[in-house]
Structure 1
Amino acid sequence: MKLKEELHSEANDDSSPSADAELFRTRDIEQARDWGTRTFCENELRNIDVRGELDARLMYRKYGSIGIGRMSYGGELRIRPTTFDDFYLVQVPLSGGEHITNGNQSVSSSPTVGSILNAGQQHEIVHTTGTEKLILRIDRGLVERLCGQHLGNDAQTRVEFDTAMPLDSAAGRRWASTMQWLFDYLDGTPSSSPLLAAQIEHMIGSLLLVSQASNHSLALNEDRSRSVTPAFIRKAEIFIEERAHEPITVGTIAEHVGVSTSSLYTGFRKYRNTSPMHLLKSIRLNRVREQLLKSDPRNTTVTAVAYQWGFAHLGHFTTYYKRWFGETPSETLAR
């Protein structure tokens, strides 16, 4: 996709990025750093080749728990982002390449080798001249929640991916083409329905888990090879995910997927090692956390958010929440 000249923000433009789409082009390194901070996290940019000309560009669109973009810096730079705790960053070079270090680990990225920057780790990126890449920001909570669901437990499961992502394998090519599809799909498209957004988030997060090696790859592969999950289980999970804000019951779920409540309970116990209502509670707890993290404590209360997501007994809710996330909801809101 070509960047449209009439929409470029030049170096003297102080406008803020919009909520849905961000597009900038600048030759000023401080403005490029500022846009990177607004979109991702605090970062340090430094020109390596002082003779090279900076031409930083970013097209980025946020969509629920994911964000997709296409970016380049033109010249050769060293990028040192601060440690980010709440998202993973997937990078697929379209041209050129980058050298990424993470502690003692080093990866040379290219159009045949992508990369994933894990949440909670410190990275340094050397971006070579002429490099352009697709980038995907995906919320850590979404990935860890999906991983827990696939493994059959109720809680978020910490996920740590390998930094190097082979793009010349079948799985790598499938992932790269999916990122390109998502970028093209969201280009110039207004925000769609929450239902569709939830389905796309689920697809992208699940595809990342099965496409890229991680600390749970063996368990995820064993889970898939051990037995084929009945279609009604997946249909029920999607229904619960999309209707978590509604007062749904086990009977409602069973009726939607076309099985009896006993069959629904049996299926969830066998294939997910949980129950439909435990899954609903875990999703609602994660939604509460997401809302608290985004809210201003001056205008929001824990009680109001808990009630909104169906937790009528505040004492029980606080106990569940602390067990899930290791902190009280008030501590989350105060962040």
Structure 2
Amino acid sequence: MTGSFSSFATTHLAEAQSHLSNSYCEHRLAARSGAAIGFAHNCTSFGGQVFNTLTYGTEVEVTAEGFDGFYMLEMPIRGGVEVEIGRQQVASERGRALCLSPGRQLRSRWRAETYQLMLQISREAVAEAFERRAHRPMGEGIIFDPVVDLTKAHGRALSRAMRELAALAARAEGCNAPGLQLRVDEVVDLLVSNLPYFEGRSLVPERLFATPTHVRHAMMILRRELAHPVSIAELAQRLGVSERALYEGFERYYQTPPYEILTRLRMEAARPLVREGTEPLSRIAERVGMPHQGRFSAQYKNSFGVLPRADRRAARCTS
């Protein structure tokens, strides 16, 4: 396997911005007022993937547009990055990486002295791993829940693979080393197997890796009975586990507490009724277990960025 290696460093913000825009996608950079940057970027390209090390030296705000051709796994060695993805805000630090999915504008703030290992992964590599694991095509693509806990077993394996990638890429012959592709394959398989993901416009995360029986059964109950008031205590009792075990199961396997999953299920069930039907919104709210109209509308807007009445009007205009 052959590849290429490049290295670029500058103290000029405009040069760093131009370099990133030419290398990946359109970037806009804004450094803290009066601060000089210490930008350094090393890049090893091979087999359709790109391994990077990157630092700005100082605190920098970054806007990346046209981020639609690849996934990016970012693992801080020092410092951390706060990222805004649509209405979602997440952050990385030592012990917590981020896996950013294509298709959305990203805004981020790099803390001073942040230094990251970053792996750019092609859509094709993720699709192949997904199909191998799921035994079905990936379809339009998947969006990973971005936070990767590096203290968990799969996170530790990811961290080890990324550090091995960094060591291989640092060698003079690194861009020709067969071990690079092996490490990338390991990283992609770990991501697909262990991270919660979203398909299409779904609000509800899915997983390929086997989840515990009590978590799987809890998801089945929540889907089946979303119109009824279900307390977490009652749900745990029905499943024969403690509330703590139920919470920990959802946090570990979906990175989301069960009550938030229930809210997402309710919103997902409500949207087609709002957009495609004529039923009063108050009745739809009752049908999905949220009889308080004001709370239903507020949650709907929080989920979809638009109030239900406006969403219905927009759907009628486009039909």
Q: Name 2:42's counterpart in structure 1.
A: 59
- The Cα shift of 1:199 comes to 4.5
- The Cα shift of 1:156 comes to 4.8
Hey, what's the Cα distance between the residues in 2 that align with 1:191 and 1:109?
Answer: 28
Q: Name 1:44's counterpart in structure 2.
A: 28
Look up the SS of the partner of 1:215 in the other structure.
strand
Contact 1:172 1:211 survives alignment (8 Å): no
When residues 118 and 97 of structure 1 are mapped into structure 2, their CA distance, relative to the original with a 3 A threshold, is same
2:65 to 78, 82, 87: 82
Residue 116 of structure 1 aligns to which amino acid in structure 2? C
> More strand per residue: 1 or 2?
2
Contact 2:73 2:120 survives alignment (8 Å): yes
- The Cα shift of 1:55 comes to 0.5
Residue 14 of structure 2 aligns to which amino acid in structure 1? E
When residues 153 and 95 of structure 1 are mapped into structure 2, their CA distance, relative to the original with a 3 A threshold, is same
- The Cα shift of 1:113 comes to 1.6
Unaligned 5+ runs, structure 2: 200-204, 214-319
Residue 44 of structure 2 aligns to which amino acid in structure 1? R
Residue 47 of structure 2 aligns to which amino acid in structure 1? G
- The Cα shift of 1:34 comes to 1.4
Contact 1:81 1:122 survives alignment (8 Å): yes
- The Cα shift of 1:37 comes to 1.6
Does residue 127 of structure 1 match 2:110?
yes
When normalised by structure 2's length, the TM-score is 0.59
Number of residue pairs matched by the alignment: 205
Does residue 150 of structure 1 match 2:133?
yes
Contact 1:96 1:132 survives alignment (8 Å): yes
Residue 166 of structure 1 aligns to which amino acid in structure 2? D
Deviations 1:78-128 (A, max 9, x none): 100013221011111111111111111111211122112210011101011
Hey, what's the Cα distance between the residues in 1 that align with 2:123 and 2:74?
Answer: 16
Contact 1:81 1:123 survives alignment (8 Å): yes
Contact 2:149 2:155 survives alignment (8 Å): yes
Hey, what's the Cα distance between the residues in 2 that align with 1:208 and 1:219?
Answer: 11
Unaligned 5+ runs, structure 1: 1-18, 226-335
Contact 2:59 2:112 survives alignment (8 Å): yes
Look up the SS of the partner of 1:142 in the other structure.
helix
When residues 90 and 54 of structure 1 are mapped into structure 2, their CA distance, relative to the original with a 3 A threshold, is same
Q: Name 2:209's counterpart in structure 1.
A: 221
Q: Name 1:206's counterpart in structure 2.
A: 189
Q: Name 1:22's counterpart in structure 2.
A: 6
Residue 33 of structure 1 aligns to which amino acid in structure 2? Q
Residue 135 of structure 1 aligns to which amino acid in structure 2? M
Residue 25 of structure 1 aligns to which amino acid in structure 2? A
Of stretches 201-210 and 129-138 in structure 1, the one that deviates more from structure 2 is: 201-210
Contact 1:175 1:211 survives alignment (8 Å): no
C-alpha RMSD over aligned residues: 2.5
Q: Name 2:15's counterpart in structure 1.
A: 31
- The Cα shift of 1:204 comes to 2.9
- The Cα shift of 1:38 comes to 2.5
Look up the SS of the partner of 1:181 in the other structure.
helix
When normalised by structure 1's length, the TM-score is 0.56
Contact 2:44 2:175 survives alignment (8 Å): no
- The Cα shift of 1:171 comes to 1.6
When residues 154 and 75 of structure 1 are mapped into structure 2, their CA distance, relative to the original with a 3 A threshold, is closer
Look up the SS of the partner of 1:221 in the other structure.
coil
- The Cα shift of 1:154 comes to 4.8
When residues 170 and 78 of structure 1 are mapped into structure 2, their CA distance, relative to the original with a 3 A threshold, is same
Of stretches 19-28 and 149-158 in structure 1, the one that deviates more from structure 2 is: 149-158
- The Cα shift of 1:151 comes to 0.9
Hey, what's the Cα distance between the residues in 1 that align with 2:175 and 2:139?
Answer: 27
- The Cα shift of 1:157 comes to 5.9
Contact 1:147 1:156 survives alignment (8 Å): no
- The Cα shift of 1:29 comes to 0.7
Q: Name 2:173's counterpart in structure 1.
A: 189
Residue 26 of structure 1 aligns to which amino acid in structure 2? T
Identity %: 20
Contact 2:165 2:183 survives alignment (8 Å): no
Residue 198 of structure 2 aligns to which amino acid in structure 1? N
- The Cα shift of 1:197 comes to 6.5
- The Cα shift of 1:65 comes to 2.3
Hey, what's the Cα distance between the residues in 1 that align with 2:6 and 2:22?
Answer: 10
Deviations 1:197-240 (A, max 9, x none): 665543332122124332378552249x9xxxxxxxxxxxxxxx
When residues 23 and 211 of structure 1 are mapped into structure 2, their CA distance, relative to the original with a 3 A threshold, is farther
Deviations 1:164-216 (A, max 9, x none): 221222221211111110121122225438x8766554333212212433237
Contact 2:71 2:101 survives alignment (8 Å): yes
